[in-house]
Amino acid sequence: MTSTLITGGLVVTAADEVAADVLIEGGRVAAVVDRHSTVAASLTADRTQDATGLYVIPGGVDGHTHMDFPFGGTFSSDDFETGTRAAAWGGTTTIVDFAVQTRGRALREGLDRWHAKADGRCAVDYAFHMILSDVNDGTLREMDALVAEGVTSFKLFMAYPGVFYSDDGQILRAMQRTAGNGGLAMVHAENGIAIDVLVEQALAAGRTDPRHHGEVRKALLEAEATHRAIQLARVAGSPLYVVHVSAREAVEQLAAARALDLPVFGETCPQYLYLSTDNLAEPDFGGAKYVCSTPLRPREHQAALWRALRTDDLQVVSTDHCPFCFTGQKDLGRGDFSRIPNGMPGVEHRMDLLHQAVVDGHLTRRRWIDLACATPARMFGLYPQKGTLAPGSDADVVLYDPHAEQTLSAETHHMNVDYSAYEGRTVTGQVVTVLSRGETVLDRRTWVGRAGHGRYVPRGVCQFLD
């Protein structure tokens, strides 16, 4: 395996910003050496990458993706091959995807199926969470075995009755299990039972277009479910990670829990930071492109999300990448918004949209790397193998041009989906070169990666719990 020396860049991690050269050997970071030290001049390698004028950052860790995911009678349009390639184009070198338990079946069967979907197809590394769709004695026992083999987090749904939904008793039982086995309980916090009543009433009154998806999935029903999830986790003694937080009122619940020093964590996603119910109201069924759950909120919620990212009441930004094509998939919900497959594309643009937040003054550079790389790696037991650039870390390295301007568009993105949620939006900053375990997969914006380079990464337990 060749060694590589990355010279001339500004190395940015969650902890530090230094003008340093990075030496890579055997697929790992061997040294990060201050450019002005005497050692720097003596470093040699088989090849050199010039990063003058660029940031040298750890590859992104996207803790929430859904490749090849069954929803609403169809499957998300990116599979592990196209989805991980798009991730790499955007500087993300590790995804944690959600394996799904089929109702009435074992966790093992679902996990095996997800391994089969991903095995040999990924361009970058991947790991799994497990979605519990059927909490019972057998499932609960299986959770221990999954934690031991590196699937250390479990998603429970308070939403989607009849599909992924678990009732409070099931959620409590699963949380009692994670309290004992080191696992992390993840919750989709929306009161799905109440929402389904509002859905029925809306449809009966002829309110069928995508805008109403946002109206029935009320912020208060996200806040209520967030509160309930927190109390259930407290009763069980389990850590809790609330996924895709979008409502200001839900953030308030998380902040209150964290003020009590409870092991409660939360993520948000770029779509909640940049898009709003205005998008859901786009004409000619265009709002369907933005149907996801939790839903986009009125613009006023965004300030609370940005603030929470700064105060650490939210710790992670993931994408919840779950693309469905406008033509042929989102279409399923014409005339009935409740049949629009839920989810949005985004895995390619998380690093850029968060860098834009640095440009706009919402975040510092280090917080950008913290939210997108280091903290998701710690949260999901991957640090410091992933999420940082330190001796011994996997050499997942991104050379990032902070001055390049790019316009996001379906014409130029690499996700397998026929629209961009950010069509025409210009951002400052672009990925130039990407290394995955020392191998170049994107070289000055030429794709040189391959399906099957990406490896499965078993995870340790959440690293925020001691």
Interacting residue ranges for ligand URP, rule: CB under 6 A: 66, 188, 244, 292-293, 320, 322, 342-343
Q: With CB cut-offs between 5 and 8 Å by kind, which of ligand URP, Zn ion, none does residue 292 bind?
A: ligand URP
Q: Is the peptide bond before 388 cis (omega within 30 degrees of 0)?
A: no
At closest approach, how far in Å is the CB of 188 from Zn ion?
3
The tokens of 284 are what?
């000619």
341 near 417, Cβ under 8 Å? no
Cβ distance to ligand URP smaller for residue 244 or 355: 244
Residues numbered 155 to 194 that lie near Zn ion (CB under 5 A) are 188
Q: Which is nearer to ligand URP, 154 or 400 (CB)?
A: 154
Residue 188 or 212 with smaller CB distance to Zn ion: 188
State which amino acid sits at residue 5: L
Binding site partner of 152, from Zn ion, ligand URP, none, Cβ cut-off 5-8 A by kind? none
Restricted to residues 90-149, the positions that interact with Zn ion (CB under 5 A) are none
Nearer to ligand URP by Cβ, of 188 and 459: the residue is 188
In terms of CB distance, is 12 or 292 closer to ligand URP? 292
Please report how close the Cβ of residue 402 comes to ligand URP at its closest, in angstroms.
30
Residue 342's binding partner among ligand URP, Zn ion, none (Cβ under 5 to 8 angstroms by kind) is ligand URP
Q: How far is the CB of 206 from ligand URP (least distance, A)?
A: 24
Minimum Å gap between C-beta 83 and ligand URP is: 13
By beta-carbon proximity to Zn ion, the closer residue of 122 and 225 is 225
Q: Which does 279 bind (CB under 5 to 8 A by kind): ligand URP, Zn ion, none?
A: none
Residues 62, 209, 320, 439: which binds Zn ion (CB under 5 A)? 320
Residue 343, contacted partner among ligand URP, Zn ion, none, CB below 5-8 A by kind: ligand URP
Q: Which residue is nearest to Zn ion (CB)?
A: 188
How many Cβ atoms sit within 10 Å of the Cβ of residue 28? Answer: 18
Q: Which stretch binds Zn ion (CB under 5 A): 248-256, 312-320, 345-353, 384-392?
A: 312-320
**Residue 101 touches which of Zn ion, ligand URP, none (CB < 5 to 8 A by kind)?**
none
Number of residues that bind Zn ion (CB under 5 A): 2
Which candidate, 398, 418, 404, 251, places its Cα nearest to that of 323? Answer: 418
- In a 10 Å sphere around its CB, with 0-12 CB exposed, 13-18 middle and 19+ buried, how is residue 143 labelled? buried
Residue ranges that bind Zn ion, judged by CB under 5 A = 188, 320
